[in-house]
Structure 1
């Protein structure tokens, strides 16, 4: 099993995704031994059935991509996704709260999702770092640690830009060795992946997983 492949959440979050494309995504993940497939909530059940009997995990997104739904909705999305077969949940924080310095609210919401997933699924917290400054990225990372999350994650891939080496480094330095750091958005080559891992990433969200593996073998 490739160490590189086990870093990758093989991702298809486009609103245009079809059942056939989701099934192909799972087949590719099984073939290349990716850690998970990451799909929108509507496809969790299908992906879970397609991956049954394989080591491939099922990852989905909550409050995606804006982070602006209510805490109750995010909690429901989490429990619903787990019931449908999700092993990992990537939740988007309320970015407006972060920008306004409402850190108690940010932390409480993360905690609510973590509690809904406890013992059933990992929780990754999407900070959308392209919309935050350094201090806000640090504080959002601290909130994630305090709330009991398993990972912090850079980006949805649907905002200004995706992961940067600097954001990954800041997140890693803030959370320490105890949490995972997921770099997502714009990681398309083996060189991109290597730079993110060097900065502290332990998981990569990418739609280009197969080409990354091919690139790494060159």
Structure 2
């Protein structure tokens, strides 16, 4: 499939989740996202209202991170924070699963959490993303989470927060996509900092990329197209 630079930019969630991000940092993030036609700004929940105000006339979405980065808050807390983020202007929600429940194989708790958060997002016409944090999970746990997601159908399942000991891998993206098929999209995030990694994640099956290096990636891809005297980049899916 062929992608223009704008097409590729629109697959990027432009990210600043640093705990010490200032209002000026967030303002710059929003300006950059608008300038480069990124899909979303990924920010901590407390920054939601500011981003919604800054991007009020833009096509860029506001994505609030919920129970981030550990996922270790109660369902009631996650639901409250999700509703609060939506009320403050979020139109995308990225929440972290309860990893302790996953490790305890409390799959009904995991499914109930996913069902209720996704339903709340769906009621408000908000995109939902479920963060697995694969660096802490076994292959079987990733598959089980993806199977639950295939039934509940959030908009995306996501590889990582970017705060764990490792981020997205090609193998994990392929595994997640193979398990959910076309029922749920896959977002890759964590450690994606150059054009080759970005394109490899798309080829593996991701259709959204979370990164703080979006400008560098798009700049590198633009330079490639200029050097090749072409306007599109072809991405061929890798074998599963």
TM over 0.5: yes
Q: Distance in 1 between matches of 2:177 and 2:25?
A: 34
Trace 1:105-184 onto structure 2 (pairs within 5 A): 105-120=109-124, 121-184=126-189
Deviations for 1:144-189, whole angstroms, at most 9, x for unmatched residues?
A: 2222311000001111111000110000001101211000000001
Instruction: Name the residue aligned to 1:215.
Output: 220
Q: 1:181 touches 1:200 (CA, 8 Å); kept in 2? A: yes
Q: Secondary structure at the match of 2:95?
A: strand
Q: Secondary structure at the match of 1:149?
A: coil
Higher gyration radius (CA): 2
Q: Secondary structure at the match of 1:188?
A: coil
Q: Distance in 2 between matches of 1:167 and 1:94?
A: 19
Q: 1:107 touches 1:146 (CA, 8 Å); kept in 2? A: no
- Which residue among 199, 204, 209 is the counterpart of 1:199? 204
Instruction: Name the residue aligned to 1:95.
Output: 99
Q: Distance in 1 between matches of 2:123 and 2:28?
A: 29
- Structure 1 runs, 4 residues or longer, greater than 6 Å off: none
- Which residue among 61, 64, 67 is the counterpart of 1:63? 67
Q: 2:149 touches 2:157 (CA, 8 Å); kept in 1? A: yes
Q: Distance in 1 between matches of 2:153 and 2:184?
A: 9
Q: Secondary structure at the match of 1:116?
A: helix
Q: Distance in 1 between matches of 2:118 and 2:182?
A: 19
Please give the root-mean-square deviation of Cα atoms over the aligned residues, in Å.
Answer: 0.9
Query: Taking CA–CA contacts closer than 8 Å with sequence separation of 6 or more, which of the two structures ends up with the larger relative contact order?
Result: 2
Runs of at least 5 residues in structure 2 that lack an aligned partner in the other structure: 224-240
Once the 2 structures are TM-superposed, how far is the Cα of residue 115 of structure 1 from its aligned partner? Answer: 1.7
Q: Secondary structure at the match of 1:65?
A: coil
Instruction: Name the residue aligned to 1:188.
Output: 193
Runs of at least 5 residues in structure 1 that lack an aligned partner in the other structure: none
Once the 2 structures are TM-superposed, how far is the Cα of residue 16 of structure 1 from its aligned partner? Answer: 0.6
Q: 1:108 touches 1:147 (CA, 8 Å); kept in 2? A: no
TM-score normalised by the chain length of structure 1: 0.98
Once the 2 structures are TM-superposed, how far is the Cα of residue 99 of structure 1 from its aligned partner? Answer: 1.3
Once the 2 structures are TM-superposed, how far is the Cα of residue 119 of structure 1 from its aligned partner? Answer: 3.5
